[in-house]
Structure 1
C-alpha cells in the first residue's frame, strides 16, 4: 500500500492535469447606420491561453451592402497572437500602439458569415466591437467579450496542491 502523502500528491497532480478547459459564450447584435449584424462570441481557456472566436453574420443591410472591416477594442493594448479569419480580410498583427484588434480590407455581404479569432493570455471582459464600411462612413457597434486586464495564473493551482501535499506529509510525520 502506498503512503498517504504519495496518494495525496498523485491526486493533486492529476487534479491539475485534468483541469477542465473553460468556455464562455455570448450572443449580441451590432447595430447602427450600416445595418444589423449578429455576433456569436466564444472564448475558451486551455489552461495557459485564451482563444477568442467571433462569428459575425451580416443579417440586415441599411447604409451599405457590405462590411469592410471588423474591430474589437483593445483599450489596454494587450498582446495577442494567431489572428485569423475565414473571409478575405487582412489579419491584424500585434501593435503596442493600437487601441483595437482590426481585421481590414475585406468584403462581407448581406447574409454572409465570417469567423474571426485570436489568442491571448488575458481573461475575457465585456468590451465594444465595431463593424465598419470605410468609404461610406457607416458603422454598427455593440458589446461582446474581449481581452481584459486579468491574466490567470494556472501555476497557482499547482502551488496550492503542492502545499496541501506537503502539509499532509508533515501532519503524518508528527503523528
Structure 2
C-alpha cells in the first residue's frame, strides 16, 4: 500500500521503530549508492545511531508512519553531529530516507518540514547534507528546503564497482 501524505503522522522515533528503520536503511545499502555502507546492518548494530537521536536537542529523528495499530513506517529524517569537535556543535548533518515505493508523494518534504521546525528552537546555525551523485530526488528536496551546493567531493566513494561523487549542501538555520 502506498501512502498519501494526508494520512501520515510524523513524530520522534524510538526503540520500537528500530527494526523498521534498519530495514529501510538496509534497502539503500543493498540497492543504491546513496549511502556508502556496503554491508547491511542488524538492528543491534544500528542501536547506537538510534540512541544518538533523543526526542529533544539538535540531534533528532523524525519518523513518518501510517496511523492506527499497524503504524507502518514510511520514512525518516535525521539531524546528527556534523563533526565531533566542540566548535562544530551548532552545525548538524541532515538526511532523509523513505521506504521503497514511498518517494514522490511529499513524505520526504513532510519529514524535513517537521525536522527543521524542531531545529528552529535549538542552537543550530547551519545544516549540511552530503548527497551521493547521481541522486536528482535528493538534490531537489535539499534545494526546496533552502540548501545550496557548496562543494563537491569527486569520486570519493566506491560502491558497486564504480566511483561516486558527493555534493555538499548547506542551509542557514539561524
Common fold, TM-score beyond 0.5?
Answer: no
Output the TM-score relative to the length of structure 2.
Answer: 0.29
Larger Cα-atom Rg: 1
| Structure with the bigger percentage of helix | 2
The TM-score, its normalising length taken from structure 1, stands at: 0.29
The structure whose residues are more often strand, as a share, is 1
Higher relative contact order (CA 8 A, sep 6+): 1
